[in-house]
Amino acid sequence: MTPYDPVPDHYLGVWQRLSLENAAGVDTATRVYWLQTPLLHADIRVPANRPDFRGKHGLQDLTVDELRLLARQQGFAGVTQAAGDICEWSRHIDYQPPNGGRDIGRMMFNANRIVEDGLESSYREVWQRLPDGMGETIALHFLEEHASGGLAVPRKGYLVASGDYFIFARDRAAILPKASSLATLLAESSLSRDQIIDILDFEISFGRRLGGRAPWEILLSTLPFREGQALFSEAEWAGIVQRGGNMVQQFATPHGIVTRRWSADN
């Protein structure tokens, strides 16, 4: 990756959004977490009224109407750049389709609270840092390839951690066209159910490394059926090996063997 300057230390940690104020009104219910390391960030935003889909085991278990409910979720991961009180989040992967805008805001810090005002769109977000979200950080990115070569472009992903929390973000294989929102895109009647599933196969999972019911337990995910599970199974952890300064992970899926090539972003 292109070298960037690390963000100042007061950005680091895990932040929970307390409120969003924009033209649509005030939102205090959406569950939003932002994890910031010196270079990388990841963010997940799940509407409070999203069904929990209890008893479902995968996207294939959902009806088309249920699948479209997931389109209201948001989240992204990439590189953060800060200069003075201006911060820009470069979204290298994004749950929502590209819309041509930048994510850039003016940041006002007060101890463990931030007030963020949008510069290219009108909004105000208030953030609170989680007390157990400070400490050791992990910042990794990876490329994911199928052994069969079925994916024309390797999927990108990130694993970031700070203190007791982590966010894992893995891109979809489908390439989205520019659109105002994912809900608008999925409303197109020409899309088949399988195409909708391919578009929604984008995982952002937030959880705790040690403080959950199991190590690396997922608490909130854009794939709801992943909640309560471990991030990786024992076999997936065992499949991570060191090769030439990088880590390589291999595991089996219903579509064949997947290889992830991990690199650190210090």
Structural domain tally of the chain? Answer: 1
At residue 148, does pLDDT exceed 50? yes
Query: Tokens at residue 15, please?
Result: 């932040």
Please indicate, yes or no, if residue 252 is contained in any of the structural domains: no
Of the listed ranges 72-76, 90-94, 177-181, 232-236, the least confidently predicted one is 232-236
Please indicate, yes or no, if residue 177 is contained in any of the structural domains: yes
Please indicate, yes or no, if residue 265 is contained in any of the structural domains: no
At 203, the amino acid letter reads: E
pLDDT digits (tens, 9 = 90+) for 168-185: 999 998 889 999 999 999
pLDDT band at residue 198 under the 50/70/90 scheme:
very high
At residue 235, does pLDDT exceed 70? yes
pLDDT digits (tens, 9 = 90+) for 23-67: 999 999 999 999 999 999 999 999 999 998 989 999 999 999 999
Q: What is the pLDDT of residue 154?
A: 77
pLDDT band at residue 1 under the 50/70/90 scheme:
very low
Rounded Cα gap, residues 75 and 88, in angstroms: 15
CATH number for the domain harbouring residue 163: 2.40.128.280
Please indicate, yes or no, if residue 149 is contained in any of the structural domains: no
Query: Tokens at residue 254, please?
Result: 């219903």
> Residue 37 is part of which domain span?
1-134+156-231
pLDDT digits (tens, 9 = 90+) for 203-227: 999 999 988 787 899 999 999 999 9
Please indicate, yes or no, if residue 257 is contained in any of the structural domains: no
pLDDT digits (tens, 9 = 90+) for 114-140: 999 999 999 999 999 999 999 999 999
Please indicate, yes or no, if residue 111 is contained in any of the structural domains: yes
